Amino acid sequence: MTATHTAGPPQGGLRRIADLPGPPGRPLVGNLFQLKRDVIHQGVERWCRQYGSLFKFRIGRRQLLVVADHALIADVLRDRPQGWRRTQQLQVVSREMGLKPGLFGAEGEAWRAQRRMVMSGLDPSRVRAYFPSLQRVTERLHRRWLQAANEGRALPLQPELMRYTVDTVAGLAFGRDINTLESDGDIIQQHLDRIFPALFRRLMAPLPYWRWFKLPADRALDRSVATVKQAIAEFVTEARERLRTDPTRREQPPNLLEAMIVAAEEGRTGIGDEQVSANVLTMLLAGEDTTANTLAWLLHLLHRHPAVMARARDEAMRVADKAEPLTPEDLAQLDYIEACLHETMRLKPVAPFLVFEALRDTRLGDVQVPAGTLLWCAMRHDSVSAQHFPEPWSFDPERWIGENAGHGKRVASPFGGGPRMCPGRYLALIEMKMLLAMLLTRFDIQSVTAPGGAEAEERMSFTMVPVGLSMRLRAR
């Protein structure tokens, strides 16, 4: 089956969404109370196994069409931004929180203009030029973790990883060394951590209560958004000052923020002061959350699979345990570690589902899809299907080595696909390989523990996070 745009009326033989199977619901609320917000992805995945790759469900007045077939999802991703957009609900809730749409939330021509600039700011040549700064950030993390190891302290894993990713993104994209790794006071990462979870809660809320009254958590959110906005204003002011005192930076801006400021001042289409600030926030949020949570899932899985851990360490010792600083060419040799990353993203994608809105009448396989339809893409369904991966729930990085890797990359798409594929994927892989090379050559991982000592629980908080992981290290 393929997803096809139809310019005219739907062709004969197409099913309507009303004809599709789906879980029975209740009057007014539909299937609302059959889904738990924190694990909503798991609930829809269970329905996928029951009702197939195309079905429907309803939350209140909102009916959603679910697609779980990776080939159909790929067609939808390729048809963005012409045929599909992020939901209007996302834009409304984001603006109510005081968040402006950067590249993540922009649509149409505004997205195209911003996309070119962000892609340029994150292309491999820029990341390679930033490599010495990435090494400094990684060395700070090493010192921080060495102190914890010497003191016998457990590290709260996600906050630690988020400090690392925030420092990395701020240095590369904004030319700012914010150094949260060596700060223990009020740091920007603590405020960033409130924004994505709050956005997810509001998107999933049956009633927008915050429009009438605010709970203590909502007031704390307002303070965090204001603090982050103030920090962004300082980033922009500092960047403008660098451009003023060194006009040569305008010819070839050394980072994304300065490139956006120059574009805004020159009046290029789609880039203004609002887009500059919005994309700073987008980079901080997206760059922090997704990479840090993927690393947390990987460390949890490595610790639970000692043979895989041993092989990954052997590779890191062979490539990265040397006196000279690592180079991008060194990281490119970490094939097994990269396979571990891909296997982690297959099993534990930080975005196990995506929701879009149809911009025009179209079709999805043999289903007629009217404009305005909400589409739930169950991104993980085929990635953990025995039809595509033998023993699909096993953690087996070998799947990503050799000729098998091609099929896997077509089925599992953790960075999205089509024109709106994640522009930071190269940076994310470099960050993760750099951290793992440091960790595996300089420490033994004594434990990565979830509450209760069992498998880490999945929780949706805009991205899918492992609940409550802590890590203990021993210096080598």
Contact 283, 122 (CB under 8 A): no
Contact 429, 368 (CB under 8 A): no
DSSP per position, 445-457 = EEEEE-GGGSSPP
- Return the beta strands (E) in 408-462 as ranges: 443-449, 458-461
pLDDT confidence bin for 252, thresholds 50/70/90: confident
Lowest mean pLDDT among 97-111, 179-193, 290-304: 97-111
Write the pLDDT tens digit of every residue in 333-367.
999 999 999 999 999 999 999 999 999 999 999 99
Q: Pick the more confident residue, 225 or 271.
A: 225
Given 3-state DSSP classes, what are the helix, strand and coil percentages for the chain, each rounded to the nearest 5? 55, 15, 30
pLDDT reading at 12 higher than 70 = no
Residue among 337, 330, 316 nearest 128 (CA): 330
Query: Which residues contact residue 331 at a Cβ distance below 8 angstroms, ignoring those fewer than 6 apart?
Result: 430, 433, 434, 437
Write the pLDDT tens digit of every residue in 137-164.
999 999 999 999 999 999 999 999 999 9
Report the alpha-carbon distance of residue 344 to residue 372 in Å, rounded: 34
Q: Pick the more confident residue, 98 or 373.
A: 373
Lowest mean pLDDT among 167-176, 179-188, 467-476: 179-188
Neighbours of 326 (CB within 10 A): 20
Write the pLDDT tens digit of every residue in 52-84.
999 999 998 889 999 999 999 999 999 988 899
Report the alpha-carbon distance of residue 428 to residue 168 in Å, rounded: 10
Query: What are the tokens at 103?
Result: 């590249």
Instruction: Among 142-151, 238-247, 396-405, name the most confident range.
Output: 142-151
pLDDT of res. 269: 56
pLDDT confidence bin for 186, thresholds 50/70/90: low
Contact 83, 359 (CB under 8 A): yes
Report the alpha-carbon distance of residue 118 to residue 276 in Å, rounded: 11
Amino acid at 423: P
Strand partners, 458: 466
DSSP per position, 55-113 = EEEEETTEEEEEE--HHHHHHHHHTTTTTEEE-HHHHHHHHHTT----TTT--HHHHHH
Query: What are the tokens at 282?
Result: 């987008």
The dihedral region occupied by 60, where left means phi > 0, alpha psi between -120 and 50, and beta the remainder, is: left
pLDDT of res. 268: 61
Lowest mean pLDDT among 238-242, 301-305, 312-316, 420-424: 420-424
What's the whole-model pTM score? 0.91
pLDDT of res. 1: 37
Report the alpha-carbon distance of residue 378 to residue 247 in Å, rounded: 49
Contact 83, 360 (CB under 8 A): yes
**CA separation, residue 161 to residues 137, 151, 434, 436 (Å):** 12, 19, 12, 11
Helical packing angle, 306-320 and 335-347, nearest 10°: 140
pLDDT reading at 305 higher than 50 = yes
pLDDT (mean) for 110-122:
71
